[in-house]
Every structure is written in C-alpha cells, then in structure tokens.
C-alpha cells in the first residue's frame, strides 16, 4: 500500500462548527496528495451528537465523496494527537485501491466488518454471529449522553453501522492490560450480586490473599483498581487466551466477608481476581503491538485504535501510553480511532465486547508480502 493513499487530519477548538469536519478532511487529503477521497472515516466529539448532519455534509463536500462513515465519541485520536474535553473532528481519507463499502456475504466472511454502535444498539445477535468484527461503542464511561453513528454520509437511526474494507489485509489484536492476581476459582456460593464463597473460603478472605503484599499493607483496599474476571471455555487457558469478561468490584463487606460485584454471579462459574495496573497495561500493549505485526506478515500501511475511556490519559497520568507506543513502533503510519465505552474485536468464533481494553487493527495492501 502506498503510504500516500491513506492519511489523517485533525481539527479542534470552539465553537461547534461543521468547519471542523471539513478542515480535518482537507488536511488529510493534502497529506495523502489526493484531490478526492474514495471513503472517509470521520469521528466527531460529543458536541455534534444532537445534529451531526451539517458536519457530515461539510466532510462530504471537502472529500468529494459520499461514503462518510463514523460516529461521535467522548474523545478522538489520530497519529497527530489525542483530543479530549475539546470540540473537534478527526478524519482518515482513503485513496488508491482502498475504500469502505457496504458488507456483502462474501466480503464479511473473507475479511471483517468495521462496526460502530451506540450502547442501546449493542446486540448479541450480531456479536455472536460468525462474522469477525472490529470497532467500538460510541459512549462515555457511564454509557450516558447522546451519541450517534453514520454511514454513507447519513445518520443511522438504528444506532448501529457496519462496513467492509476493500483492498487490504488486516490483523486485529486486543490488549486487556490487567494484572491477574489469581488463577480461576469456582464460585461456590452467591446471593444476588454478592459472592459469598469462592472454592473453600469466604470471598473477601480469598481476595485479600490474592493481593500483592504492597497493596495488603494499605489502610484501605483500592477497590477502584480491582476487578474480577469471569472465564469461558477451558479455565486453565482462559486468562492466557483472553477468554474472559471483566467486571467491577462494588464493595467489600467485612460483616460477612462477602464481595459485592457489578455482574450477578452464578454458582459454579469460574472467576479470578485482577488488578488494573499502569505498568502491566503498558507492557501488555507493547506485546500486543508486536503480536499484531507478526500476524500481519508485513509492515502496516495504516491502523485503527480503539481504547476504553478508562484506559486513556486518565489512567496513564494525562498521557496515553497506548497511543505513544503505536507511534513509536510505527512512526510514519497514519492511524485514527476514538475513546469509547466498549471495544469490539474477534475472538475464536464471532466477536466479543471488551471492557477496559485497547483494540488495535493493523492494515496493509492485499499484495503486501
């Protein structure tokens, strides 16, 4: 893939004005050396959610194309920089043999579908089908606020869109970024949202035993950093293979040594304790980038990046190490993405909705060796 066939542009600052979309697209076209785009990926900040159509028309005029695909998001990302708490637009233009197209039965099976959804439109019907998908949920960390998606330059009232790439090969990887604190245990006793016993001991006792010594010495358990994972498939290999869902720990209850969690537990399911850790996340992201590159069998021409809102600058101390690591590994590669409420990536058969993770999709030309 010629590096000039794909490029990104970014525009930000007050006020909420369609010119941000046009400026981002125009900037991307200039970088790519194109006079028009085959397709445009366009991500807008939440200020545009109530009425994105003027911005979509501006992007279509600037790109001289009608295939404008994207959504609003709490924050947007390009290889130039990430943008949070400011009004703006991020665009990626595609030229040459690369473009986005409506999915067909053949294209869906051969590649994957780029998928964006609002929280209300996330469905197991399309997550569990056999088609691999990559994308994210357009919402903040709480799933609140107005959010919208679009395709073909028009807002989609269904709150869900899917498109296919033409002219590229891909590699999709996910960085979970957690530090497992235990092997999977069986939930022996649960009541409502409370886990009472794990294996042969009280849930709170089991959690405390799993904590690193440095954490046990603290006056209070940092519950905001602790999580529990529910595995599926073979529990012996589930953590290694990423076959688990992460959930919040709501409270630790000394009176009965139970743990209240955000997902109603089921007796007999396999779970493990985990901790959100900045260094562990950074190391895992570096490994994930290399794994994606190895699978692609070529240097990528462009990439898509979808981090969780809880995995961005607020987690890394007002910097985004995930973004920095991608830029360092592929310094001349254009990439685009947004911070969302959930990340979509393939896992075995079908796709999964990840939490607290970063999904990276690398692309190269079909003919790249």
Token code pair at residue 298: 């070529």
Position of tokens 């992201």? 285
Question: Residue 266 pLDDT more than 80?
Answer: yes
Quote the number of domains for the chain. 2
Residues 7 and 61 in one domain: yes
Query: With contact defined as beta carbons under 8 Å apart, do 12 and 83 qualify?
Result: yes
Residues 160 and 57 in one domain: yes
Residues 114 and 20 in one domain: yes
DSSP run (H or E) holding 284: helix 278-296
pLDDT (tens digit per residue) in 125-176: 888 888 899 999 998 766 677 799 999 999 999 999 999 999 999 999 999 9
pLDDT score of 218: 85
Residues 19 and 164 in one domain: yes
Give me the DSSP letters along 114-170: EEEE-GGG--HHHHSSSS-EEEEE-S-TT--S---EEETTEE-TTSEEEEEEESEEE
Closest CA to 233 of 184, 171, 266: 184
How many residues can be counted in the chain? 369
User: How many Å apart are CA 256 and CA 190, to the nearest integer?
Assistant: 12
- Domain that includes residue 257, residue range: 178-276
Residues 300 and 348 in one domain: yes
pLDDT (tens digit per residue) in 86-121: 999 999 999 999 999 998 765 445 568 999 999 999
DSSP run (H or E) holding 56: helix 53-63
pLDDT score of 77: 97
Residues 172 and 149 in one domain: yes
pLDDT score of 355: 87
User: How many Å apart are CA 30 and CA 218, to the nearest integer?
Assistant: 54
């Amino acid at each position: 893939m010629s590096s000039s066939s794909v490029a990104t542009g970014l525009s930000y600052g007050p006020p909420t004005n369609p010119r941000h979309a046009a400026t981002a697209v125009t900037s991307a076209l200039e970088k790519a050396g194109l006079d028009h785009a085959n397709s445009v990926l366009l991500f807008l900040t939440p200020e545009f959610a109530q009425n994105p159509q003027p911005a979509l028309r501006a992007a279509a005029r600037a790109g001289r194309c009608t295939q404008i695909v994207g959504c609003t998001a709490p924050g947007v990302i390009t290889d130039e920089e990430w943008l949070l708490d400011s009004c703006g637009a991020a665009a990626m233009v595609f030229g040459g043999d690369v473009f986005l197209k409506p999915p067909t039965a053949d294209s869906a099976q051969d590649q994957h579908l780029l998928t964006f959804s609002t929280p209300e439109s996330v469905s197991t019907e399309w997550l569990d089908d056999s088609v691999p998908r990559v994308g994210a949920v357009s919402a903040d960390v709480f799933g609140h606020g107005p959010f919208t998606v679009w395709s073909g330059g028009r807002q989609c009232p269904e709150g869900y869109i899917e498109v296919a790439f033409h002219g590229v090969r891909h590699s999709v990887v996910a960085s979970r970024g957690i530090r497992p604190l235990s092997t999977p245990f069986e939930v022996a006793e649960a009541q409502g949202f409370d886990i009472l016993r794990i294996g042969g001991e009280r849930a709170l006792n089991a959690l405390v035993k799993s904590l690193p010594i440095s954490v046990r010495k603290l006056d209070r358990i940092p519950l905001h950093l602790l999580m529990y994972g529910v595995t599926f498939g073979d529990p012996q290999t589930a953590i290694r293979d990423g076959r688990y869902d992460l959930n919040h720990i709501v409270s630790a209850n000394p009176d009965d040594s139970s743990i209240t969690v955000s997902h109603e537990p089921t007796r007999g399911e396999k779970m493990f304790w985990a901790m959100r850790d900045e260094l562990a996340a950074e190391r895992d992201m570096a490994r994930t980038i290399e794994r994606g590159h190895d699978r692609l069998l070529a240097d990528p021409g462009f990439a898509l990046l979808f981090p969780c809102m809880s995995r961005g600058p607020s987690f890394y101390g007002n910097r985004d190490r995930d973004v920095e690591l991608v830029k360092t590994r592929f310094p001349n590669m254009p990439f685009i993405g947004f911070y969302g409420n959930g990340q979509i990536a393939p896992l075995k058969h079908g796709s999964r909705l990840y939490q607290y993770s970063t999904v990276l999709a690398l692309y190269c030309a079909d003919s790249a060796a």
